[in-house]
Amino acid sequence: MSERKEEIGRGLLQAVAEGDEKAFSGIFHHYRNKVYAIAFKVTGSEAIAEEVLLDVFLKVWLKREQLPQVAHFSAWLFTITRNHLFNLLKQAAHRTQPALLADSEEYALCPASDNPAAILQEKEYRKVLQQAVDRLPPQQKKVYRLIKEHGLKREEAAVELNLSPETVKRHLSDAMQFIRVYCVSHLGTWAALTIVKGIL
């Protein structure tokens, strides 16, 4: 049985190495909770743990050609996670600001150059993101916009909407899950990770 599982795993890794986004999505959903748990244990922050999760899998996608040579994917993945967390902690030690990461909206979505193709790609990402937000149920949309677009804290959004903080947390989590799935279906997993990273 274990050999069969390993065979399936090797097939997935080979598929990802060849650029199969469906296979990559499968690996992402299989390991996401474990990577998130490690990041949350180290940072104590849900937002940063989510950011680390997406950063780690972006690295996996960018290194996908190496996957057929990886003997133990779990160990390789968790090494990438630990190294990324170590670098974040090193950066935090040299900063006076409490946040570990740069402003996520600019960090993930602003074009890195004046390259027309990059600008068009960024506009397409924003268009798909807005389409996803527009399709959210009314209450989820309100929570998302108050927190992600207007910068309110969860407790502030709860007061604004006359909801409990836990209800706001649930609405935001459901909204982010819908946005992630919508973006994957319209742009592919790699682009979806990039977009979701930009709105954390």
**pLDDT at residue 120, rounded to an integer:** 65
Structure pTM? 0.51
Phi, psi dihedral angles at 136 (to 5 degrees): -70, 150
Sorted by sequence, the CB contacts under 8 Å of residue 53 that are 6+ apart come out as 32, 35, 36, 39
**pLDDT at residue 116, rounded to an integer:** 60
* pLDDT 10s digits, 60-97: 888 889 998 888 898 899 889 988 888 777 665 554 34
Estimate to the nearest angstrom the gap between the alpha carbon of 182 and the chain centroid: 13
